[in-house]
Structure 1
Amino acid sequence: MQLSTILKPAAVRALPQVTSRKRLFQDIAALGRQVYGLDEGRTLDALQERESLGPTGVGNGVALPHARLHQLKDVAGVFVKLDRPLDFDAVDRQPVDLVFALFAPDDSGVDHLKALALVSRTLRDADLRAKLRANSDPAALHAILTSGPGMKAA
């Protein structure tokens, strides 16, 4: 599994005016509809339901919201860079500006976990995060995320 198979170039955006987690999840659900044909309402509900179990802010300004959706056949991702960081109740109490939302089929089993580990490992790289923060062009953000060593799941 590679990030390039999970994340389509069209599923990468820089969002300038996001002021809440709810608005962020609405934007992610809309992007999921546009790029992957996901049901926007179900996607939003699934993201909010997962977040209610515990915040998905993992530290260093990164959040990894994720949800299982029955309409999917393969794991899919959406990446957004926020111009203004949001409070995400992250483990390190730092606001979040890099968000990689991951969607998996209900029956994805270990593939969902592998994809989540891959995204987490990728965004743990401080140099990569710095490059993402220095760019707002979606094509550049996609290239940064999907190129280089360590962008494959075991």
Structure 2
Amino acid sequence: MQPLASLLTPERTACQLPGLSKKRLFESIARIISDDQFSLSYDEVFAHFIAREKLGSTGLGDGIAIPHCRIGNCSQPTGALLTLSEPIDFDSPDNQPVDLVFALLVPEDEPQQHLDTLAGLARLFSQAGFCEGLRNARDQATLFRLAIEAEAVAP
């Protein structure tokens, strides 16, 4: 998996977003990504996340979701990290609401990169200490810093 530092920017990190629905979450993700990646339109990003989620929930369990999709105008893997002030229903396998989200876009013609990055993210987010640190962040800069630093020392 690529390091989080290559997937994230501080601008694509959001801390303690207020009460959302799944649809509103995808709207927020699309806005965050399209505002930072000018080659990706809000409508396109939003539509791809909605279409992927219709195939099945991207909730992992333990309050974590990794919505992901492949998109044509994406030139490199792009992520957004968000914490939610109030957990939302995500149809996760354990029926637990989600409060920690890593959204991932990858180039459409890179299916193996998509799978490898997803697997790496799933391993990273399965570490309780990593997730606890992210959940405890109270501002965007701290959330970004904790994600990058914690990944560097993660087993």
TM exceeding 0.5: yes
How many residue pairs are counted as aligned between the two chains?
Answer: 151
Given that 1:61 and 1:97 are in contact with CA atoms closer than 8 Å, whether structure 2 keeps it comes out as yes
Structure-2-length-normalised TM-score? 0.92
Q: 2:77 aligns with which of 75, 78, 83?
A: 75
Contact 1:20/1:86 (<8 A) preserved: yes
TM-score, L = length of structure 1: 0.93
Q: Given the superposition, is the C-alpha separation of residues 72 and 16 from structure 1 closer, same or farther in structure 2, using an over 3 Å criterion?
A: closer
Q: Could you tell me which residue of structure 1 aligns to residue 66 of structure 2? A: 64
Asked if 1:108 is matched to 2:99, the reply is no
Q: Which of structure 1's runs of 4+ aligned residues deviate more than 6 A?
A: none
Unmatched tracts of structure 1, length 5 or more: none
Which residue of structure 1 lines up, in the alignment, with residue 92 of structure 2? 90
Alignment equivalent of 1:46, drawn from 45, 48, 72: 48
Q: Tell me how far 1:15 sits from its aligned partner.
A: 4.0
Q: How big is each residue's C-alpha offset from its partner over 1:99-144, in whole Å with a ceiling of 9 and x where there is no partner? A: 0000011111311111111211111110111111111211211122
State percent identity of aligned pairs: 34
Q: Which runs of 5+ in 2 are unaligned?
A: none
In structure 1, the partner of 2:141 is 139
Displacement after TM superposition at 1:8 (Å): 1.3
